[in-house]
Amino acid sequence: FIVGEDGADIETERLLPYLRTRDLTDDGRATPVTHLANVWSADGDLVDLSHYPKLRAHLEVHREGLAGRACAVRPEHWYRTIDRIDLARVAAPKILVAGMAKTSRVALSPGGAQPSNALYAVTSTGWPLEALFALFRGGLLDVFAEVLAPRFSGGSKRFDGNVLGQVRIPLWSQVDAALKKALLDMDVTTPVPTPELIADLYRIRGAGHRKALSAATVRRTAVST
């Protein structure tokens, strides 16, 4: 279902920009270079391939393999993907987090692209997404990963749903006005560590704890550079 960078002869309305880990750029953007052949309609049903002859011809090349997968239980659904495509979620602006990295890799996507299964998508209703992204770029995920993330050979850590689900942040309404401004004004084109801001956000006063926050974010910078 993944269409290479050279494109494919498929109906345009059946193609979705597709984001992979490699598409997360150092300046915090997510720039897709490939597409996904989307077999799902907006109402959540499989499309009728007879209405999309180019898509059908593209998939027919791989029909034997697709029909033999566990997710294609009904013969007429031989082209079913494991996961449904939720177009509302695709369209929503989101923060993308690479699932495996030595230090957190995050990017801000305006929406309209389907992330791969190696990326985790974070949306927000309570916090402005730009402020939350600034907090992540400042090293917050690395602070939590120090104690939560599984480690692998080579120094990689897993920033998966289990880790992200345990990250706790204050309610936006309870954040000091000066901190709100600092987050919203932060230059997010480079991942600059902000241990002091993180400490102030969580009202951490102890010198030892503030030093630990600084160590976590400084290690992030050292690895990244």
pLDDT for position 59: 93
Residue-level pLDDT at 61? 92
Q: What is the pLDDT of residue 182?
A: 95
Q: 66 by DSSP, 3-state: which?
A: helix
Q: Which residues of 111-137 are buried (b: 16+ CB within 10 A; e: fewer)?
A: eebbbbeebbbbebeebebbbbbbbbb
Name the residue among 122, 131, 138 with its Cα closest to residue 191. Answer: 138
pLDDT in tens, 162-178: 999 999 999 999 999 99
In the chain, which residues have pLDDT < 70? 5-7, 208-225
Q: Which runs of E-coded beta strand occur in 74-217?
A: 94-98, 100-101, 106-109, 114-115, 119-122, 157-158
Note the pLDDT of residue 194. Answer: 86
Model pLDDT for residues 39-67, shown as the tens digit of each residue: 999 888 999 999 999 999 999 999 999 88
What's the whole-model pTM score?
A: 0.86
